[in-house]
Structure 1
Amino acid sequence: MKKIITVLVLALGFTLTTQAQKGKHHNLEQFTVAQQTELAVKKMTLKLDLTTTQQGQIKPLLADKIAKRKVMHQKRKALKEAGKKKGKLSANERFDREMKILDAKIAFKANMKRILNEKQYDRFEKMSDRMMQKKHKKHSKNGKKEKRDKKRRK
C-alpha cells in the first residue's frame, strides 16, 4: 500500500512539474519586429563576419521577412480562435500560399547572394540547412527514431 501511494505521489509530482514548465514560455512577452531584426542581424554578423555596409543592406530584408512572419502568425491565430481548422483550404488556395512562400524564399536568397561574398554565402547556406533540419526534427513525430537511425548509419 505504501508503495502504491509513493508511486502515485511521484507521478503526480512529475505531472505538475511538467505542466508548470510548459506554462512559463507562454507568459513571456514577444519582441517587437525591430528588436527581432536587431538580434537577427547581430547573430548573422557574428556567424558570417558581416561588414557594416552588409549589415545595413541585410537589416531591411530581415525586417521585412520578420514582419511578414508575424502577420502570418497573427492570421493563423485568428483562424484558430475563430474555430476554423488548418486543413480547410482548397487545393488552389494551398498552391497559391505555397507559391508565395517559395517566391519569398527565392527572392530572399537572391538578395543574400548579392550582398554576401562567396565564403559568407556558403556559410549562410549551411546555416540555413541546419536550421531547416532542426525545425523538421522538432516537428517530426518520430524524432527519436530518426536520430537513432542516423547514428546506426554512421
Structure 2
Amino acid sequence: MKNIVTILVFVLAFTFTAQAQKKGGKPSAEKMLKKITKDLSLSEDQQSKIKPLLEGQMADRKAAMEKRKATQESGEKPSKEERKQLNADRKEKAAAFNTEMASILDKDQFAKFEAMAKEKKGDVKNRVKKQKN
C-alpha cells in the first residue's frame, strides 16, 4: 500500500511540474510588446506603431511553421534551392522588420533593441548546441 501511495505522489508531482513548464508557451505579440516597452521605455505612439509589426511577424512565423509541418507530414524534403529561397525570404523579412524598427525607435532604443536581438540569437544557438549533444 505504501508503495502505491508513493508512486501516486511521484506521478502527481511530475504531472504538476510538467504542466507548470508548459504554461510559459510561445510569446504572443502582446507579451513581446510589453517586454520591449519595458526594456526600451517606449512611448504610446511607438507602441501603437510596433504592435502591428509584431503581429505581422507572429502571423508570418505561424504560417511558415504550419507549412513546414505539412511538408514534414507529407514526407517530402525541400530541395537545396527551396531551402536557399526560404532562408533568403526569412532574411529579407528580418531586414525589413529591422528597417521598420529603426524608423520607429530612436538611436539609443534601436541600439538596445539590436543588443537584445543579438543576445536572444546567442541563446537560441546555445540551446541548439545543447540539444545536439
Pick the TM interval, shorter chain: 0.7 to 0.9
Determine whether 1:129 maps to 2:118: yes
* Percent of matched pairs sharing the same residue: 30
Q: Root-mean-square deviation (CA), in Å? A: 3.1
Structure with max Cα Rg: 1
Q: How does 1:43-122 map to 2 (within 5 A)?
A: 43-84=35-76, 88-122=77-111
4+ residue runs of structure 1 moved beyond 6 angstroms? none
TM superposition score normalised by structure 1 = 0.67
Give the counterpart letter for 1:38 in structure 2.
Answer: E
The runs of 5 or more residues in structure 1 that have no matched partner are: 1-15, 145-154
Q: In structure 2, the residue corresponding to 1:50 is in which secondary structure?
A: coil
Determine whether 1:41 maps to 2:33: yes
TM superposition score normalised by structure 2 = 0.77
Offset at 1:106?
0.5
